[in-house]
Structure 1
Amino acid sequence: MAVYTHVSAEALAAFLHRYDVGALVSVKGIAEGVENSNYLVDTDAARFILTLYEKRVAADDLPFFMALLDHLAARGLAVPPAISDRDGAVIQTLEGRPACLIRFLPGVSVSHPTPAQAQAAAAAMGDMHAALADFRRTRVNSMGIATWRPLLDKCGRDLDTIRPGLFDRIDTALATVEQAWPLGLPVSAIHADLFPDNVLMHGDSVTGLIDFYFACTDVRAYDVAVMHSAWTFDARGENPDAAVGAALLAGYTAAFGLSDAERAALPLLARGACIRFLLSRAWDWLHTPADALVMRKDPLAYLRRLDWYEAHPEAFA
């Protein structure tokens, strides 16, 4: 979450008149994140999240995201579906951006997850995958393996300004991952970005899964690998917590299950996840202005994860 587009109180009040949600009481920008503009909106009836979709989220993809959230909410999962206005419309326009008013979910995102929290969050992912088994809409992964080499080439030798030799390091690692990328594993709708800040918790209980704007159709076990790479390490990509990693796998397996083929593929899928997030962070690092409203994330945190996964193929045994 972040704030790129300013919304005046007058424009927001007029926007809310389209809904049966009460009158505007207060609004506050949410500064975290890098993708969209988000505001915490309080009315005299309830609390909501207002999201304005910036350049990275294509308007044509919004029906997929909204349908996926509606599908999960209808099956009782704690996700934040968008709210329809009086005419039944979900996707609006505000300040020249596609916009949605979204149900607010309680809870906090943990910075240093415990094994119990990792197990609960992974079980919630497993429940999500089970609920999506009959979800028929599809969306190509906009940050899938087919995009990694073009993004590497776009970053080019500028990567070496982040760390000397970084381009060649990723070029070699990506070639290995591309050659061995598993085929034939189960494919479904996945979250593709289930970092700790996209899971709301109260104690050891999950109260919400949020930010589905990278959701897509891809290898289901890749979702587990992304989550493992995000939850098991500290913010610098160091100090992997074996207990957190084991609890995460246990929680997911108990809720949904992993086939032998999926488990065997996890080490490679995790390396792919590291390359994906390293490259997207590197692109932002190289092209985000120094005075931008959001903080750039260190791409080398995912190089450290990649180094660790290459050295520890037994991590998912």
Structure 2
Amino acid sequence: MAVYTEVPDEALGAFLAEYEIGDLLSYKGIAEGVENTNFFLHTTTGNFILTLYEKRVAEADLPFFLGLMEHLASRGLACPQPIRTRAGTALGRLCGRPAVIVSFLDGVSVRRPGVRHCRALGSALAGLHAAGADFALRRPNALSVEAWRPLFSAAEAEADRVAPNLAERTRRDLAGLEEAWPRGLPGGVIHADLFTDNVFFIGERVSGLIDFYFACTDAFAYDLAICLNAWCFEADGSFNRTKGQAMIAAYEALRPLEPAEVEALPVLCRGAALRFMLTRLVDWLNVPPGALVKPKDPLEYDRKLAFHRRVHAAAEYGWSR
């Protein structure tokens, strides 16, 4: 979440008039994240989130994202619900951008998750995968292994300005992962971006999952690999195997991993780290002038890649059976 597009009061008022959400009392931009323009809306009927879609989000993909959120909620998963206009449409346009209003979820994200948070996240991830099993639409992962070389090409010339020898490290990782990337693993709907700021807790209970705008059809174990990267590393760059074990065990309590998924987990974790390093690197080098946005540090994932290069078995992430 971020603010790339400033919205004049008059334009916002005209847009909100299409909805039955009461009178606007206040609104403010949300600076966290890097993908879309987001505003917190407070009205006489409650709180909402307004999103204007920017950058990597293709307008043609929006029916998938919005339909998925409605589908998951109908299966009991706590996630934002698109608010429809008086005419019954979920998607509108504001300041030349596709835009949607979604419901607000209670809870807070945790910056430093503990073992219990990781365990709760593992259960929630398996629940998401189960809830999406009968979702009819499909969307290929636009940021899977085939997309990484074009991303690197966009940043390669300036990569060493961010960190010494980053370009050469990335070349080696990219070549190895392109050769070793697993195919044919069990899959379906995945979130593909379930970082700590996209999960809300009340106490140690998951109260909601948000930001489904990278959701796609891909391997379930890749989604787990993304979460291991995002939740189980400490501030000093070390991997916390206890957290990994809690997450994997909770996931497997609802959906046991198949042998091929277990074998592929080290490659999937390394690939997930490279994917986020590359997108962060491109964003780091291309922040629009004047944008209210905080680009995320690509070197966090460069450090995680250093760990993954040494891993050869899923047990090193905490898997055991």
TM-score interval, normalised by the smaller of the two chains: over 0.9
Q: How many angstroms apart in 2 are the aligned matches of 1:85 and 1:287? A: 35
Structure 1 Cα separation of the partners of residues 247 and 100 of structure 2: 32
Q: Find the counterpart in structure 1 of residue 312 from structure 2.
A: 313
Partner-residue secondary structure (3-state), 2:105? coil
Cα deviation for residue 72 of structure 1 reads 0.1
Q: Is the 8 A contact 2:26 2:41 kept in 1?
A: yes
| Counterpart for residue 243 of structure 2 | 244
Q: Distance in 1 between matches of 2:202 and 2:254?
A: 20
Change (3 A) 1:289 1:67: closer
Structure 2 residue identity aligned to 1:7: V
Task: Name the residue aligned to 1:134.
Answer: 134
Bigger drift between 74-83 and 294-303 goes to 294-303
Distance 2:99 2:173 in 1: 39
- Which residue type is aligned with residue 269 of structure 2? A
Q: Secondary structure at the match of 1:201?
A: strand
TM-fit CA distance, 1:10: 2.8
Query: CA shift at 1:183, angstroms?
Result: 1.6
The answer to whether the 8 Å contact 2:20/2:85 transfers is yes
Give the equivalent residue in structure 1 for 2:266: 267
* Contact 2:33 2:295 (8 Å CA) reproduced: no
Point out where structure 2 has 5 or more consecutive residues left out of the alignment. none
Instruction: Report whether the alignment pairs 1:298 with 2:297.
Output: yes
Residue 74 of structure 2: aligned partner: 74
CA shift at 1:13, angstroms? Answer: 2.4
Q: Is the 8 A contact 1:140 1:217 kept in 2?
A: yes
Aligned to 1:105: 105
**1:303 to partner: Cα distance:** 1.2
Once the two structures are superposed, the pairs formed by residues 210-229 of structure 1 within 5 Å of their partners are: 210-229=210-229
Give the SS at the match of 1:34.
coil
TM-fit CA distance, 1:264 = 1.4
Give 1:35's aligned residue. Answer: 35
Distance 2:94 2:178 in 1: 41
Please state if 1:94 is matched with 2:114: no
**Structure 1 portions without partners, runs of 5+:** none
Query: How far 1:170 sits from its partner (Å)?
Result: 1.1
Post-superposition offset of 1:240? 2.0
Contact 1:122 1:252 in 2 (8 A): yes
Q: CA deviation at 1:70?
A: 0.8
Q: Distance in 2 between matches of 1:29 and 1:294?
A: 10
The CA deviation at 1:203 is 1.1
- The amino acid of 1:146's aligned partner reads E
Partner of 2:189, secondary structure, is strand
Where 2:101 maps in the other structure, the secondary structure is strand
CA contact (8 A) 2:38 2:49 kept: yes
d(CA) in 1 for partners of 2:296 and 2:41? Answer: 27
Of 259-268 and 105-114, more deviation after overlay is shown by 259-268
1:116 equivalent in structure 2: 116
Report the Cα offset of residue 20 of structure 1: 1.5
For 2:89, the aligned partner's letter is: A
RMSD: 1.4
Residue equivalent to 1:193? 193
Pick closer, same or farther for the CA change 1:54–1:232 going to 2, 3 Å.
same
Counterpart for residue 178 of structure 1: 178
Query: How many angstroms apart in 1 are the aligned matches of 2:182 and 2:31?
Result: 38
Count of aligned residue pairs for this structure pair:
316
How far is 1:305 from its partner?
0.6
1-10 vs 36-45, which moves further:
1-10
The 3-state SS of whatever aligns with 2:188 is: strand
For the 8 Å contact 2:31–2:294, the answer to whether it is kept is no
The one-letter code matched in structure 2 to 1:145 is: V
Query: How far apart are 1:291 and its partner, in Å?
Result: 4.9
Instruction: Determine if contact 1:25/1:42 at 8 Å carries over to the other structure.
Output: yes
- Letter of the structure 2 residue corresponding to residue 243 of structure 1: T
Q: Which residue of structure 1 aligns with residue 162 of structure 2?
A: 162
Local SS of the residue matching 2:211: coil
Aligned to 2:133, the other structure's residue is in SS state helix
Could you tell me which residue of structure 2 aligns to residue 8 of structure 1? 8
* Letter of the structure 1 residue corresponding to residue 16 of structure 2: L
Amino acid at match of 1:66: L
| TM-score after normalising by structure 2 | 0.95
Corresponding residue for residue 61 of structure 2: 61
After the TM superposition, which of the residue ranges 96-105 and 285-294 deviates more from structure 2? 285-294
Q: Decide whether the 8 Å contact of 1:235 with 1:301 is kept in 2.
A: no
What is the aligned-residue identity percentage?
Answer: 50
- Between 251-260 and 74-83, the greater mean CA deviation after superposition: 251-260
For 1:250, the aligned partner's letter is: A
Alignment correspondent of 1:278? 277
2:51 aligned counterpart, secondary structure: strand
Distance in structure 2 (CA, Å) of the matches to 1:94 and 1:163: 39
> Aligned residue for 1:23?
23
> In 1, distance between residues paired with 2:45 and 2:286?
41
Say whether residues 1:209 and 2:219 are aligned partners.
no
Matched residues in 1 for 2:247 and 2:194: separation? Answer: 12
What CA distance in whole angstroms lies between the structure 1 residues aligned with 2:123 and 2:235?
A: 23
